Structure 1
Amino acid sequence: MKDKIIEILYKLIKKPYQFMFKKNDSWNLTLEEYLNNSENSLGFHLGSFLVKNNLSIQPQLEVHDVYHVLTNTGTTVIDEINMQFYLFGNGKQTPFVYIVMMTGFVFHSRHLKQFITNYKKGKQAHKFYDLDFSKMLAIPIRTIQSGFNIK
């Protein structure tokens, strides 16, 4: 039940957050364009992630899905909290990161050890959270992951 509440909270804050903090342009790419990249590329893996999880492209929020792909993180509430701890460890400091981490502390404190482990993994990775991934869609995903020590 608490995960449903958290999901509703995330959905409620998404649009205001996007309006207030997301000043980047949409990539204006279709799912087919992602999937037309080579099978080992970031773009193909991004498209496959969207298909597998029955998700649609959300303009200006494409990078969020790239983080899921690069860190091999699922889409459950716990997965999302783990990913935000990872990104925080990597240096990302945004209101969304803090909101998600706070919900993790409050609602899922029994997973704190796992959250800390992901924070440490993010610290060990080379800074990647602020890259322009729209220009990296043709690059093999393993090249990006190994080059930035993303585990």
Structure 2
Amino acid sequence: MTLAPPQPEEPAPLARGPNRLLLLGLGYLCLALAFIGVLLPVMPTTIFLIVAAWAFGRANPALRARLRAHPRFGPSLRHWQDHGSIGPRAKRAALLGMALGWLTVTVIFRDLLASGIAGACMAAVAVYILTRPSHSAAGGS
């Protein structure tokens, strides 16, 4: 089974009623978690922005457009959503973060099973990240 990067898609139908409220709530929750990730190096940012953009795209496309237009986070978000690509700097940061996370688990728990499970999960994610196309910081694919 291969995990294909996301492809540009037609806009999904807008959610209505309670589903719209749930999606808005999820979008704002993920946006808050992304903000925390900006402040704390141990918390991811990008994945929460991706989920927030998805939720806003279904509930309020104007909010999704604002995320995609953000001067700092918009380019990476657009590259992922439009091309499935991850910049080299983001790849290095993700791999370094996972390595430090695995080291922390290994040192704190001192348990071979916990270290092995954490390492295997992080290695699988690392393979996924490394197999995504790269894009330049200047915006090329």
More helix by share: 2
Please, what TM-score do these two structures have when normalized by structure 1? Answer: 0.27
Greater Rg over alpha carbons, structure: 2
Q: Which structure's relative contact order is higher, taking Cα pairs within 8 Å and 6+ residues apart?
A: 1
